Every structure is written in C-alpha cells, then in structure tokens.
Chain A
Amino acid sequence: MTQSVVVQVGQCGNQIGCCFWDLALREHAAVNKKGIYDEAISSFFRNVDTRVVGDGGNISKGKICSLKARAVLIDMEEGVVNEILQGPLRDVFDSKQLITDISGSGNNWAVGHKVFGSLYQEKILEKLRKSAEHCDCLQCFFIIHSMGGGTGSGLGTFLLKVLKDEFPEVYRFVTSIYPSGEDDVITSPYNSILAMKELNEHADCVLPIDNQSLFDIISKIDLMMNSGKLGAAIKPKSLVTSSTGVFKKRQEKPFDAMNNIVANLLLNLTSSARFEGSLNMDLNEIIMNLVPFPQLHYLVSSLTPLYTLADVNIPPRRLDQMFSDAFSKDHQLIRADPKHSLYLACALMVRGNVQISDLRRNIERLKPSLQFVSWNQEGWKTSLCSVPPVGHSHSLLALANNTCVKPTFIDLRERFIRLYKKKAHLHHYLQIEGMEESCFTEAVSSLSALIQEYNQLDATKSMPVEDLPRLNIAM
C-alpha cells in the first residue's frame, strides 16, 4: 500500500485541508471498526506512540495509538494555522510539520513565490523530507491551494518545482481553487496566470475547482432540503457537504460546506487505492490513463450523488440518475459543460454497491451523447471500490480530460490582459527582487500556448474519423 502526503498552502489550502482530515478520520472510523492500524489508514495517517519523545514513536501495526496526519501545513500568516491547532483536530497534526510566518503575502504572487520561496526553501525541504521518511512507499503529493491569493498561489507553486527536483518519482496532484467571476481579490488574474505557468510545467495533474460552482451546488442542496419535495427526507450526514458535527446544529463556518465538497473529492479519488474492490485503480493509473499529452493535465471533476434520500430501497433508476448527473454541467466542480465539448479521456470511479453490469449499462447509454476525440473513441477508465462513502450506499466520481476547461482559461486571460494593458497594480510585483515584466509575458504566452492546443483538438471535433487516403494504382 502506498502513502500520500498532503501539503496545504495558504488560507484556502489550509481550510480545505482541515475539512479533508476531518472527513478522512470520519471515513476510516466508519470502515475500521476494530481500531487496528491497517494499510488503508496508513496511506494518510501515521500511528504514533505519543509517549515517546522525538521521532521514534512510529508504530506500524497493531492497535491505533494516536494518529498523525501525513501533512505539511504552510501559511505565511499565523491566523489560520493557529486556529486549526486550537480546534478539535489539534492532535492530528504534528506540530513540527508547520511552516508559518507573520505578515502574510499580501495577495502578491511575487512575495509568495520569490521572497518567501527563497526564505523558506530549506525549511520546506526539510519538512518534506521528514514526511517522506515516515512513509514506506511514498506515491503522491497532494497540494491544495488557491490561485488567486498570494501564499497559496505563489509559495504553493514554488513548492512544485522543489518537489519535482527533490522527489522526481513521486506524483504531484494539485487541487487548485480558481478565482470565480466575482472574486474579491483584485490582483487575482495576475496571481492566477503567474501560477498557471508553474502548474503547466511542474504539476503532473491538476484538478481545477472554482468557488462559484461549489456555491451553486450548495444552493441546489439547500433548495432540495428546504423544499420538502415529495416528503423525501434526506439522511443526515449523507450530504456531500456535511461534516462530523451534528447535522445543522453546530454553527458552521461559512466556507465549510464548500470545503467539504473538495475534501470529498480527494477522498473519493484515493478510495480505490486505499480500499478493496473488484476493479482497483491506483493514483498512478489516473495519470497514466487521463493525461494523453504532458501539457494537457487538467481534469474536470464531478461528484454525485449530492445527497442520499432516507429511503433505503434505491431503485436502479437512481443509480442511472447518478451516472447521468455526473455529466451534467450543474454537477461539475468548475464552470464547464463537458457534454458539448470534446472528451480526451474519462474516468469513472464508483464506490459502493455497484457492479460491473450497472457500469457497462450506463456507459453504453451515455456514450452516444458524448463526443470523444478521434483517437480515443472508446476511452473509459473504470474502477469499482466496494467501500461506499459515509452515509451513502454508492457514489460516483467522474474525472474528465475535456476541452471544456478552455473557457476558464480564456476568461482568466481576458481579465489579466485588461489589468495588464493599463499596468495596474504592477508596481507591487515589480518591486520584488527577481520579478520583471518578462515574467508576465512568459506566463501569458504559456497560457496562450495551452489554449491553442485545446483549440486544435476542438477543431478535430466534428471531423469524421477517416484514414488518410491511399494511393490507388490504376490497373
């Protein structure tokens, strides 16, 4: 069994990370009734004997003593991390795996990347090496950050280069929160574009997410809950947004519901690697199958179902509905419409009591309405995991490498150009040592090249799949 290390950078990254660890504990508690430290838990947690001082306390088998998350928390201001360390999860984090500073990055990518990057490079390397040493077989780093801010986007992407150099064989999965239309950070286009260049070059796989889509999903759930349609009662705890706290009683923090969705995404992504199933899918298989060319590693994700009704007898129609929903544009975690764009590859990760015949039936049913690229007409990657998520009897995560990410990038580029043409706010960046205007132009041309690649693929969309004409020899 392999292990993964989660690196959470910046306010957004740390808040999502906090929800992730919360849900991970809940999931393992539900599955692992005997309290034995098994391989599934070891993929994200260490079992530590807290009585031992120093680093020697790792226990590899037997009963769970005290679980420590395999995580590194990085933030350039102390508020968020301190809050986590004083909250209910304080024992899960190893106090030595933190890197904090006082003043923050001021929403400035250059400060995060150049200033704090060089300042903390050694310390970061040390913490990463330490967490890698605690792993038997480290497979993957999960980096969680936002693109619009300063620390998350600047320092988060600086990390990628460090990881690539130090651990070239370990995969780098990045969960990036892209700024939505009504973002409150004015310089977010600059930060995002500069960060995108790093993501293009150094990440193995990126899962873009945006706040607006998450918010839409929450509204949908709220609508469903409050409408009391058909007298259907929703099982508490089954919401894709719920956390360990008692349903609705606890005063939840504002972004919690949205963060929980992202946390669920990460849990479902790794479920087939951690738990048993009849068709397993490991993290390296995700990259192998879904990334046809190294540049095109942006995967659009969607999670269904969003909630489970309390009715125990689920007719198969609901199962089919789950599959249909996964392809609708309302369930995607980023503003995208995959059905009307070109698919390069698609993966379906199913959890729970779903069998291969259900999967095949739905693939046959949905295939005609989706457009696949010419060289991969039947390209589906499927996996079945027998352990369902908490509160659900089955769930589906669909990952698609689809040209529908293009509009997000084009939009980002538009906003960047609008600011850049007027050189607004530029001096804050240029006064940092190491930043020049060429950084901006390089970043935007890297993004343009990416958009161009997607354009070329889109151009082949409606062309029939024909072989090249052969020479006919006249007899």
Chain B
Amino acid sequence: MSIVTVQLGQCGNQIGFEVFDALFNDSHCPGGLCSKRENEAYQASCKERFFSEEENGVPVARAVLVDMERKVISQTLSKAARSGRWKYGQHSCFCQKQGSGNNWAYGYSVHGPRHKESIMNLIQKEVEKCDSLSGFFIIMSMAGGTGSGLGAFVTQNLQDQYSSALKMNHIIWPYGTGEVIVQNYNSILTLSHLYRSSDALLVHENDAVHKICAKLMNIKQISFCDINQVLAHQLGSVFQPTYSREGSFHYRRNPLGDLMENLVPHPEFKMLGVRNIPQMSENSLAYSTFTWAGLLKHLRQMLISNAKMEEGIDWQVRPPLSGLPPLGKMSVNKETHFNTSIANLVILRGKDVHSADVGHHRALKRVLCAVRMFSPVICQCQSPKFILLKKGKIKTLVLVAKRNPCTSM
C-alpha cells in the first residue's frame, strides 16, 4: 500500500527531499546481509510505498510539494533531478509568488481557501496513481506561516475528502530560543487544529536533533542539511518495510496502519516520538560493534528516562517497584521521573534479528500495563536492510513511543 507525502513550506520541502533520498538510497544500496530474492522483495516493497514508476524507468516520488514561494521548491526539484536516480513529478508542485510571512492566519485563512482546489487536485492525482492507499504523510513545521497554517488547512481538507485514509503529520518543533518570534502563536494554533483533524502527530524537536548532530555525529558546523539527514534517517527506520515478529515471509503491507494500530489506541493521545539507536558518524561506525542486548538495554533506559539520544542517559531512573506511580504530591524521589508511555513500538533492523530478546520489554510491559490499561508492546522486525549510513553489518533499533501528554509541551 502506498503513502502519499505532502511537503509544506520551506522546512517540509527540505526534509521531504532528504527523506526520499534516504529511502531510495537505502533500498538500492548494494551489499547488505541477505539474499538477492530478499533484496528484491525489500526494494519492491519500498518502491510500492514511496515511488511510482515512470516511462524511462526513473522512479518518481509519490509526493506533492507545496510552498507559497518558488525558491525552495525549485531548489528541491533540481537537487532531486541532479541525483539522476529518482526525481519528483514535474507537475506535482504548487507554488505562489509571495510567502505567508510567518503568519499562521495567512496560511490558514487566506492561502488555504484561495488555493484549495489546486492543491487538492494535485493530491488527488497522486492518489489516483496508487494501487491502494495506506494514507498521507504530511511534513510541516510549526513555527512558520505556510507549513503551519496551510498545513493545518490541508490536513483538515484531507480529513473531509479522504475520511478513510490515515493521516500522519510530521511536525517540527522549533528551537527553544527562537527561530521566529511569533513561533509560539503559530505552534499553538497549529497543534490545536491538527489535534482535531490528524490521526497521529510525529514530533521532532529541532533542539533534540541538533544535540544529536553535535554530540553523537560529531559534526562541527551543523547545517540544516545535516539536521534533515538525521531526521530522514529516523523516519526511514520507521517507514521502511518490516516483517511481523511471529515470522512471515512477506513484508507487512500497511505501514501507517501498523503504526496507528499499535501506537494510537485512543484518539485523544496522538503525539508520537522516535528514538533511534545507534546513531553515529560514518567514521565511528567502522570501529564499533553492537549486540542486541546492549542496544535494547540502552533503548529501554532512553525511554524510561525520557532521553532522546544514547549519550547522557540518566541511569538512576528505574520503574517504580509497586507497579503504579504514587498518587498525590510529587515527591523528590527519582522514581517519579519515570517516563510513562501509553504505547510503544519497537522496530528492529539488522543481522540476527531473531536472536534479539525483547524480554526486558515484556517486563516493562507489565509495568506499563499497570499504569495504563492499553495494549502491550509489540515488536516488529525485519531482515537486515536499513543500514545506518549505508555500510557494513549494522544493527539498528528504533523505538516509536507514545509521549506522555503531560511532559514536554
């Protein structure tokens, strides 16, 4: 089943390009740890989800690019075409002459209704090219004008027009110290609208990703390109084809459906976060070895101590012994900093995946279930393909957890 991506605003378009690039490069990278037949099945599955075929064989991304001014879209289109390996559809973009001026109201109330027909037509065309539609993946930022305002408007329209398709919005939480002065207005307005019309909100914070680039990837002068590449890597780990744990020989067909089913048990709780391990620069990769047990242990601790990366984890945080967090006043006790989640999904990719023991998670599951009576942790794993930075025999682990709605807002 296919996913149609809608990229909105400068941020959405820049990230979208990196995502498609990462997905394509991953599915077509030579080597890997599995048989040729498996490789082909993986490629075919990835292609079905994200790319459509065109006459001369160059895959075309299933995406609609929307921005209110032309510069970023032309840059994105030319970068994709330059790679020669995949490209965007020529007619899948919509742009205007003047931007939204960081004004949510402009994006939502002026540009939205004015260009509703054209944008929805473009999306319709993209949907018609799919054999079966899994849903929409909408990439936008919250701080700007187009991404936030127009994004909220488009999501609402998608809900009206395609009520049975799932919608996942990928939103970028702006830097704490401000990239735009009115970002707080724009963010709150966006979140309130998206909460009503979207099915899931996958949040990436600029601050967190920036720290990952600085500490883990060891990049000295971090550019937005670097940040977007880390983001794209995390998103790729989530969206690339997976098997189910119970063992099957076919890749699961409905990526968005799987995510929603496992992670959004109740429509009131839709904010998701991604934690990815290991993340490091290509240079360090050659000198590192991993085991599933080690990775899983780190990931679990990252989850319960609410850390976004594998450095600086607070190992003192432990799950409460009684199984339930103490009611009443918050004590200074470290145990109350335990990050409760509503649902978690673990995606394992790499060599010997079946040997990975998610036993801890079962134990965790008991604790989590006691706190919230929802579905337990489910694991999905898949034969090695999605490789960090495209080389070697690497194991990567992804945890897509539900955010406790009281914490980081």
Once the chains bind, are A278 and B181 in contact (CB under 8 Å)? no
Q: Is B29 an interface residue (CB 8 A)?
A: no
What is the size, in residues, of chain B's interface with A at 8 Å between Cβ atoms? Answer: 33
What CA separation (Å) do A175 and B221 show in the bound complex? 35
Answer yes or no: A367 CB below 8 A from chain B CBs.
yes
Query: Does B97 lie within 8 Å of A279, measured CB to CB?
Result: no
CA distance A191 to B71 in the complex (A): 42
Min CB–CB distance A100 → chain B (angstroms) = 33
- Whether B181 lies near A355 (C-beta < 8 A) is no
Given A1-B71, A288-B103, answer yes or no on A280-B179 (Cβ-Cβ < 8 Å): no
A28 within 8 A of B: no
Cα distance A253–B259 in the bound complex, in angstroms? 69
Verify A360–B210 contact, CB threshold 8 A: yes
Q: For A237, what are the chain B residues with a Cβ–Cβ distance below 8 Å?
A: none
| Chain B min CB distance to A204 (Å) | 12
Give, as a whole number of angstroms, the nearest-CB distance from A440 to chain B: 37
Within the complex, the shortest CB–CB distance from B109 to chain A, in Å, comes to 15
B192 on interface, CB distance cutoff 8 Å: no
Rounded to whole Å, the gap between the CB of B257 and the closest CB of chain A is 35
A-chain residues with CB within 8 Å of residue B145 when the two chains form the complex: 285, 288
Cβ of A363 within 8 Å of any chain B Cβ, yes or no, is yes
Instruction: Specify which of B72, B99, B103, B220 lies most central, judged by the most chain A CB atoms within 10 Å of its CB.
Output: B99
- Of B157-165, B170-178, B301-309, the one contacting chain A is B170-178
Find out whether the CB atom of A355 lies under 8 angstroms from the CB atom of B102: no
Min distance, Cβ A175 to any Cβ of chain B, angstroms: 20
With the chains together, A282 CA to B144 CA distance in Å? 12
Q: Name which of B223-231, B311-319, B347-355 contacts chain A.
A: B223-231
Contact of B222 among A39, A357, A376, A378 (CB under 8 A): A357
A379 interfacial by beta-carbon distance below 8 Å: yes
Chain A neighbourhood of B178, CB < 8 A: 378-382
Smallest distance from the beta carbon of B53 to chain A beta carbons, Å? 31
- Chain A interface size band reads 20 to 34
Chain A residue with minimal CB distance to B144? A285
User: Chain A CB within 10 Å — which of B10, B101, B220, B222 has the most?
Assistant: B101
The digit string for A336-354, where 1 denotes a CB below 8 A from any CB of B, is 0000000001000000000
With A and B bound together, what is the CA distance between A437 and B227 in angstroms? 62
CB neighbours of B221 from chain A (8 A): 355, 357-358
CB of B222 within 8 A of CB of A355, answer yes
The answer to whether A380 touches B97, judged by C-beta atoms less than 8 angstroms apart, is no
Q: B14, B71, B181, B214: which has the most chain A beta carbons within 10 Å?
A: B181
Determine whether the beta carbon of A289 is less than 8 Å from that of B179. Answer: no
Task: Indicate if the CB atoms of B214 and A280 lie closer than 8 Å.
Answer: no
Instruction: Determine the chain A residues whose CB is within 8 A of the CB of B14 once the complex forms.
Output: 278
- For residue A380, which residues in chain B have a CB less than 8 angstroms away from its CB? 177-179, 181
- Please measure, in the bound complex, the distance between the C-alpha atom of A454 and the C-alpha atom of B98, giving whole angstroms: 33
Contacts of A276-335 to chain B: CB distance below 8 A: 276, 278-280, 282, 284-285, 287-290
- CB pair A139 B102 closer than 8 Å: no
User: Within residues 129 to 154 of chain B, which ones have a CB less than 8 A from any CB in chain A?
Assistant: 145
Q: Which residue of B lies closest to A344 (CB)?
A: B181
Q: Which residues on the A side are within 8 Å of B293 (C-beta)?
A: none
| Alpha-carbon gap, A39 to B220, bound state (A) | 34
Given A1-B69, A364-B177: A285 touches B102 (CB 8 Å cut-off) = yes
A residues in contact with B72, CB < 8 Å: 276, 280
Residue in B71, B101, B179, B224 whose beta carbon sits within 8 Å of that of A276 in the complex: B71
Residue of B nearest to A272 (CB): B71
Docked pose: A289 CA to B99 CA in angstroms: 14
A356 contacts B222, C-beta separation under 8 Å: yes
Whether B181 contacts A280 by the Cβ 8 Å rule is: no
CA distance A2 to B96 in the complex (A): 10
A285 neighbours in B (Cβ, 8 Å) = 99, 101-102, 145, 180
CB pair B101 A280 closer than 8 Å:
no
Does B182 touch A at the CB level, under 8 Å?
yes
B75 touches A (CB below 8 Å): yes
With A39-B70, A278-B223 given, is the CB distance from A357 to B99 under 8 Å?
no
Per DSSP, are chain B's interface residues mostly helix, strand or loop, or mixed? loop
A410 to B10 Cα, complex, angstroms: 42
Q: Which of B103, B182, B224 contacts A278 (CB 8 A)?
A: B224
Q: Which of A137, A345, A355, A358 is most buried by chain B, counting CB atoms within 10 A of its CB?
A: A355
CB distance from B397 to the nearest CB of A (A): 27
List residues of chain B with CB within 8 A of the CB of A357. Answer: 210, 213-214, 219-223
Give the nearest-CB partner of A384 in chain B. B224
A101 at the interface (CB under 8 A from B): no
In whole angstroms, what is the CA distance A384 to B220 when docked? Answer: 18
Contacts of B176 in A (CB 8 A): 378
Chain B residues near A252 (CB-CB < 8 A) = none
Q: B69, B99, B181, B227: which contacts A356 (Cβ < 8 A)? A: B227
Min C-beta distance of A2 to chain B, whole Å? 5
* Cβ–Cβ contact B224 & A356, under 8 A: yes
Within 8 Å CB of A2, what residues of B? 69, 97-98
Chain B residues in 8 Å Cβ range of A376: 181
Q: Which residues 97-136 of B sit at the A interface, judged by CB distance below 8 A?
A: 97-99, 101-103
Contact of A360 with B177 in the complex, beta carbons under 8 Å: yes
A364 to B175 alpha-carbon distance, docked (Å): 12
Residues of B within 8 A of A278 (CB): 14, 223-225
| Interface bits A241-258 vs B (CB < 8 Å: 1, else 0) | 000000000000000000
> Chain A 123-159 against B: per-residue CB contact (8 Å), 1 yes, 0 no?
0000000000000110100000000000000000000
Give residues 228-249 of A contacting B (CB, 8 Å): none
CA distance A137 to B227 in the complex (A): 33
* Chain B positions 161 through 202: 1 when the CB is less than 8 Å from some CB of chain A, otherwise 0: 000000000000001111111100000000000000000000
In the assembly, what is the distance between CA of A34 and CA of B370, in Å?
68
Chain A nearest CB: distance from B272 CB in Å? Answer: 25
Tell whether, in the assembled complex, residue A284 and residue B98 are in contact, meaning their CB atoms are under 8 Å apart: yes
Known: A276-B71, A358-B221. A282 touches B177 (CB 8 A): no
What residues on A are CB-neighbors of B214 within 8 Å?
Answer: 357
Considering the chains assembled together, what is the distance between the CA atoms of A407 and B2 in angstroms? 63
Q: Quote the shortest CB–CB distance from A401 to chain B (angstroms).
A: 10
Chain B residues numbered 1-59 whose CB sits less than 8 Å from any CB in chain A: 10, 14
Closest to A277 in B: B71
Chain B neighbourhood of A290, CB < 8 A = 181
Closest beta carbon of chain A to B68's beta carbon, Å: 9
Bound form: Cα–Cα A407–B164 in Å = 62
Given the contacts A289-B181, A380-B181, A280 and B71 also touching, CB distance less than 8 Å: yes
A280 and B10 in contact, given A357-B214, A363-B177, A381-B181 (Cβ under 8 angstroms): yes
Q: Could you tell me the distance in whole angstroms from the C-beta of B82 to the nearest C-beta in chain A?
A: 14
Q: Which of B218-257 contact A (CB under 8 A)?
A: 219-225, 227
Inter-subunit contact B175/A360 (CB<8 Å): yes
Q: Please, which residues of chain B bring their CB within 8 A of the CB of A279?
A: 10, 179, 224
Q: How far is the CA of A376 from the CA of B75 in the complex (A)?
A: 34
- Provide the residues of chain A in CB contact with B224, threshold 8 Å: 278-279, 355-356, 384
Q: Which of B219, B220, B222 has the most CB of A within 10 A?
A: B222
Lowest 7 A-B CB distances belong to which pairs?
A: A284-B101, A357-B222, A137-B97, A355-B223, A278-B224, A289-B181, A380-B178
Which A positions have Cβ atoms within 8 angstroms of B?
1-2, 39, 136-137, 139, 276, 278-280, 282, 284-285, 287-290, 345, 355-358, 360, 363-364, 367, 376, 378-382, 384
16 contacts between A and B (CB under 8 A): A1-B69, A1-B71, A137-B98, A278-B14, A280-B69, A284-B101, A285-B180, A288-B103, A289-B182, A355-B224, A357-B219, A357-B221, A358-B221, A380-B181, A381-B180, A381-B181
Beyond contacts A279-B224, A357-B223, A367-B177: 20 other A-B pairs, Cβ-Cβ < 8 A, are A1-B97, A2-B97, A39-B71, A139-B98, A279-B179, A284-B99, A287-B101, A288-B101, A288-B102, A288-B182, A355-B222, A356-B223, A358-B221, A360-B177, A364-B177, A379-B178, A379-B181, A381-B179, A381-B180, A384-B224
